[in-house]
Amino acid sequence: MNVELYERIWMWAAAGLLLLFLGAIFLTAGVQAVQPPSHIETVDPTALPTHPEFGAPGVKMRPDGSIVVSIVAQMFSFSPDPIEVPANRPVTFRLTSADVIHGFEVVGTNANAMAIPGYVSQFTVTFKEPGEYVIGCNEYCGTLHHNMVGKLIVKKESK
Ligand code: CUA
C-alpha cells in the first residue's frame, strides 16, 4: 500500500498530538497529583449525628497550633455557622454532606470544595486578611439552594 508522504506526515502529527495530550493527563494526575481536594476518606452519611467528628462539627486546635474545622453541609445550611478562625494560621477544612452534594466556597478566596455525602473533602488554607467572608453553596442542591450561605469570621490573632 502506498501512502502519500503528505498523508503520512499528518497521521504521525495526529498520533503525536494524542500522545502529548495523554501524557499531559498522566503527568498532572500522577506526578503533580492534581485532583479534587478529597482524599477518599469515607463516612456514613446516615450516621453523622453519632459520628465522633461530624456528630459535633466545629473548630478545633491541634497540638501544633494549626486549626481543623469539621463542617457538615445539609439542606440548606452549613454547620457550624458562623465559623471563626484565626488569621495567618493554616486552617484545615474537613467537610461532608448529610444529604446531597453541596458546594463550599469561601467567596473571594481559593477555598472551594464540594461536600459529598459519604466522603470527606479536605483542604488547607491560610487566611491572611482578617474580616468576614461569605460562604456560598455553589452546587445546585434544591429549592432553597440560593439561601444556603454561611459566614466565616477570620480574626486577627491576639499576641
Ligand atoms: Cu447546598 Cu446548593
Query: Which H or E run includes 100?
Result: none
Find the farthest-apart pair of alpha carbons in the chain and give their distance in angstroms, rounded: 80
The verdict on the CB of residue 140 being under 6 Å from ligand 1 is: yes
Ligand 1 atom closest to the Cα of residue 139 is: 2
Half-sphere exposure of 127 (CA within 13 A, CB side): 25
- pLDDT of amino acid 40: 75
- Of 98, 103, 125, which is closest to residue 114 (Cα–Cα)? 103
- pLDDT of amino acid 34: 65
CA distance 159 to 147: 37
- pLDDT of amino acid 138: 95
Backbone dihedral region for residue 108 (phi beyond 0: left; psi -120 to 50: alpha; all else: beta): left
Distance from Cα 111 to the centre of ligand 1, integer Å: 16
- pLDDT of amino acid 39: 67
- Contact predicate 38/120, CB 8 Å: yes
Q: Which residue has the cell 453553596?
A: 137
How many helices and strands in the chain, by DSSP H and E?
1, 11
pLDDT < 70 positions in the chain? 32-39, 158-159
- pLDDT of amino acid 73: 96
C-alpha cell at 28: 498532572
- Contact predicate 94/122, CB 8 Å: yes
Residue 3, SS3 per DSSP: coil
pTM for this model (two decimals): 0.76
- Contact predicate 144/125, CB 8 Å: no
Distance from Cα 9 to the centre of ligand 1, integer Å: 51
Residue 151, SS3 per DSSP: strand
